[in-house]
Structure 1
Amino acid sequence: METVPNENNALVNLDLQPVFLDSPNNMEATPNKRRKKKSIVWEHFTIENVGAGCRRACCKQCKQSFAYSTGNKVAGTSHLKRHIAKGSCPVVLRNQERDLSSPFSAPPKIGSNAMNPAIEPPKRRYRTATAPFFAFDSDRCRHEIARMIIMHDYPLHIVEHPGFMAFVQNLQPQFDMVNFSTVQGDCVATYLREKQSIQRLIEGMPGRICLTLDLWNSCQTTGYVFVTGQFVDSDWKIHRKLLNVVMEPYPESDSAFSHAVSSCLSDWNMEGRLFSLTVNQPLSEIGIDSLRGLLSEKNPNILGGQLLLRNCLARSLSGIAQEALKANHETVKKVRDCVKYVKTSESLEEKFLSLKQQLQVPSTKMLALDDQTQWNTTYEMLLAASELKEVFSCLDTSDPDYSKGPTGEEWKLVENLCTYLKLLFDTAILLTASSIPTTNTRNW
């Protein structure tokens, strides 16, 4: 039975022929699906086909033609805008001159389009970066003000100063200015938040804590004991936190430090977790016995207070250095007077440097006066002077006013003194370094 073809089962053979949309023969037959041109230049130009795949733009005024497209490459419209906007077209230029020569025409304004109102200058398009939006947070601003006062030790009344109030209001008019009582409460709240953070660190430490006591006396003869804690966390990171500042009306009493330690242990719940106690203050035997008894009572595993130290290592190093300098006081004074003589006059210092160049002394040290309250500056002064001793020895030949400096034996004594002080100096530098390896780090 022969099947009658219908629309459901019919087999249709289509001969597909390629259609060249861009060919000249099909240009008129093929509908133009390009988007509508929006540039202002097309009010003054027309597009003409001059060959296969080649089109040019023709000016309606002067009939000049310009390149527009060749194949898939499009020349753009910038050169067309310059032709009509900058007077390159002779017809437009003649119209402008005729309008300017009329006695009834007003002079065009600079920067306006009055010279050719039909033509708009090309507009530049700039990409503007979108600035991130930050929502104003009044509570965070109050927190930052409290943090600023605590960090820089500003008075609380700074928030009521007219200058500060005007600055904040101009910076953010939406911010409601705080008063003395408000900022005081914010500072206390900041302190409590920081205390809770340190409390969590202390509770999470796997070992014990070391305390250091320092005393500061005010002009009202009232003392303040600063209690600092050092401990190592589970990641072997060293922490150093100021835990308490305890006011002591009678700082010279034997029980002043015992009271500060007892308050700290009770405030931070550290009974039984104290490892050692370092006191940076001379104490009497009664005061030491009082501290040792407190440690034995609050910390029964502290070996009966045997780890109680009189001074920390830094203070011990300073004491040794001060004793060495005191034993050689006369020699150190001679060197200090020589350095002072050179440093008090620019002309003498220039003469000293000139003499150093003549003698070809290889030292790169520079002379500097010391601070007698800091032994490290005295060591640096002695070290620089000892390396420049040849210049000091010859200075009296060029400067008759220069008194006799140290003798050869005294310079040798200075060199020996610097040799011993260098050991203390290097140790102190190691202690004050920004990062100190923990005990589980070994250097080979």
Structure 2
Amino acid sequence: MRTVHPTVRLAVVELRETSGPAGDSVGASTSTRGVKSTQPSRPTQRPTATQSPMDQFMPKSMSVPKQGQIDSALAKMIAIDFQTFSIVEDRGFRNYSNSLNSMYTIPSRKTLSKSLIPQLYESTQASVRERVQKATAVCLTTDCWTSRVTTSYMSVTCHFIEDFSMSSCLLDCFEFSDIHTSENLAEELLRVAREWQVDGKVVCCVSDNAANITKAMNIFKWTHYPCLAHKINLIVRDALKGMKPTVDKVKAAVEYFHRSTVGAEKLKFTQRQMGKPELRHKQDCTTRWISTFYMWKWFLESKDAIISTLAIVNAPVDALTQEEWGVEERGVQSPGTF
């Protein structure tokens, strides 16, 4: 019973004595020589039939602390992995959770968004605030960008030494719809610093080389350091100005394959016919100079297939001259000169 039905609790067995027809206890034995044994007789033990309690067959409920512990882990998973709140309504996720622990009750989407995530945010914010306030000096980094739906954002990150190692914490990331003047940038940056009580601990602030943010640092006399990666990008972009016609041709061809499904499929077919791997095209990003290098590298590795495909589909793209192909080849083979 314990092996096959481990979840069913065995009932307690009651024992009672039974006597034989002559009044002697059943089971009394004699010796082999006809002498009665002096050992006491052992009564026959019979189990009394009992009924198992009904609660043994009812589904068990999870304790409140255990339910809260799993709820917290679920909220952290959604926050860390950027999952949608609707994941708790997905049939596959619910089946998966039930297979792990059938006693766990998955919270609703409303409970997740109105209770669990806000509680996790408040507890995390309190923990980060305590860590930041213990720091004696901090460095801030800030940046502004525009999303694909043309919404502008601004973020502020704090860096400090904690237990003899560098720690970084995002203080705020918010929608910034005002005009990006130096006064508005300075106002928002100072607001975040005061909310986290680090305005008197800032030893320097790192940002890009834009004139508005540089001027904003001078308003409240913070030491400003330009971002090294941004400065390198500006240097490389300035060096590529002499190769702009060639860069524009390559970029136009890549954009054609990106937006044209017919051209992209024809390119893959041509690559297979030539026995070459189906390489995925790389697009250029103005804020990352290395993306231009990767775009040129892909373009050169797929040279024959690209030339053939553009000719077959009669794409509205200017072809590179032999000299321009040579410039690109030297640039890819020697990235230092690129």
2:150 matches 1:215: no
Alpha-carbon distance change, 345 to 179 in structure 1, aligned in 2, over 3 angstroms: closer
User: Any conservation in 2 of the 1:213–1:279 contact (CA below 8 Å)?
Assistant: yes
* Correspondence for 1:198: 128
In 2, Cα distance between equivalents of 1:338 and 1:418: 18
User: Any conservation in 1 of the 2:156–2:171 contact (CA below 8 Å)?
Assistant: yes
* Correspondence for 1:35: none
Alpha-carbon distance change, 421 to 176 in structure 1, aligned in 2, over 3 angstroms: closer
Alpha-carbon distance change, 146 to 164 in structure 1, aligned in 2, over 3 angstroms: farther
In 2, Cα distance between equivalents of 1:387 and 1:183: 48
Secondary structure at the counterpart of residue 272 of structure 1: coil
How big is the shift at 1:140?
0.5
2:296 matches 1:382: yes
**TM-score (norm. length: structure 2):** 0.58
Letter in 1 for 2:219: G
Alpha-carbon distance change, 144 to 179 in structure 1, aligned in 2, over 3 angstroms: same
1:308 to 220, 224, 238: 224
Secondary structure at the counterpart of residue 131 of structure 2: helix
2:172 matches 1:244: yes
Letter in 1 for 2:282: D
How big is the shift at 1:321?
3.3
How big is the shift at 1:379?
0.9
In 1, Cα distance between equivalents of 2:202 and 2:291: 36
* Correspondence for 2:110: 180
In 2, Cα distance between equivalents of 1:324 and 1:239: 36
> What does residue range 98-137 of structure 1 map to in structure 2 within 5 Å?
137=66
User: Any conservation in 2 of the 1:157–1:180 contact (CA below 8 Å)?
Assistant: no
User: Any conservation in 1 of the 2:152–2:177 contact (CA below 8 Å)?
Assistant: yes
Which stretch of the first structure deviates more once superposed, 405-414 or 209-218?
A: 405-414
* Correspondence for 1:321: 236
User: Any conservation in 2 of the 1:231–1:239 contact (CA below 8 Å)?
Assistant: yes
Give the fraction of aligned pairs with identical amino acids, expressed as a percent: 18
In 2, Cα distance between equivalents of 1:414 and 1:384: 11
Over the aligned positions, Cα root-mean-square deviation in angstroms equals 4.6
Secondary structure at the counterpart of residue 345 of structure 1: helix
Letter in 2 for 1:320: I
How big is the shift at 1:144?
1.9
> What does residue range 21-420 of structure 1 map to in structure 2 within 5 Å?
137-154=66-83, 156=85, 161=89, 163=91, 167=95, 171-173=101-103, 175=105, 177=107, 180=110, 183-205=113-135, 208-217=137-146, 223-235=152-164, 237-280=165-208, 282-284=210-212, 288-294=214-220, 296=221, 305=222, 307-309=223-225, 311-334=226-249, 344-350=266-272, 352-353=274-275, 368-373=280-285, 375-383=289-297, 406-418=320-332
User: Any conservation in 2 of the 1:156–1:184 contact (CA below 8 Å)?
Assistant: no
How big is the shift at 1:228?
1.4
In 1, Cα distance between equivalents of 2:175 and 2:311: 58
How big is the shift at 1:197?
2.9
Q: Which has the higher contact order (CA 8 A, sep 6+)?
A: 2
Secondary structure at the counterpart of residue 235 of structure 2: helix
Letter in 1 for 2:114: Q
Alpha-carbon distance change, 241 to 205 in structure 1, aligned in 2, over 3 angstroms: same
In 2, Cα distance between equivalents of 1:377 and 1:221: 22
In 1, Cα distance between equivalents of 2:302 and 2:78: 48
In 1, Cα distance between equivalents of 2:149 and 2:279: 40
In 2, Cα distance between equivalents of 1:347 and 1:220: 34
User: Any conservation in 2 of the 1:343–1:349 contact (CA below 8 Å)?
Assistant: no
In 2, Cα distance between equivalents of 1:381 and 1:278: 29
Query: How many residues are matched?
Result: 261
How big is the shift at 1:371?
0.5
How big is the shift at 1:279?
2.8
How big is the shift at 1:176?
7.7
Q: Deviations over 1:71-103 (max 9, x none)?
A: xxxxxxxxxxxxxxxxxxxxxxxxxxxxxxxxx
Unaligned runs of 5+ in 1: 1-133, 297-304, 355-364, 425-444
Alpha-carbon distance change, 382 to 247 in structure 1, aligned in 2, over 3 angstroms: closer
How big is the shift at 1:421?
4.8
How big is the shift at 1:162?
8.1
Q: Deviations over 1:278-314 (max 9, x none)?
A: 2348443xx64343222x3xxxxxxxx3x324x5222
How big is the shift at 1:212?
1.6
How big is the shift at 1:261?
1.7
How big is the shift at 1:216?
4.2
In 2, Cα distance between equivalents of 1:162 and 1:381: 39
Letter in 2 for 1:277: C
How big is the shift at 1:147?
1.6
How big is the shift at 1:271?
2.7
Alpha-carbon distance change, 420 to 174 in structure 1, aligned in 2, over 3 angstroms: closer
In 1, Cα distance between equivalents of 2:161 and 2:104: 45
**TM-score (norm. length: structure 1):** 0.46
Alpha-carbon distance change, 331 to 274 in structure 1, aligned in 2, over 3 angstroms: same
Higher helix share: 2
User: Any conservation in 2 of the 1:215–1:225 contact (CA below 8 Å)?
Assistant: yes
In 2, Cα distance between equivalents of 1:138 and 1:223: 40
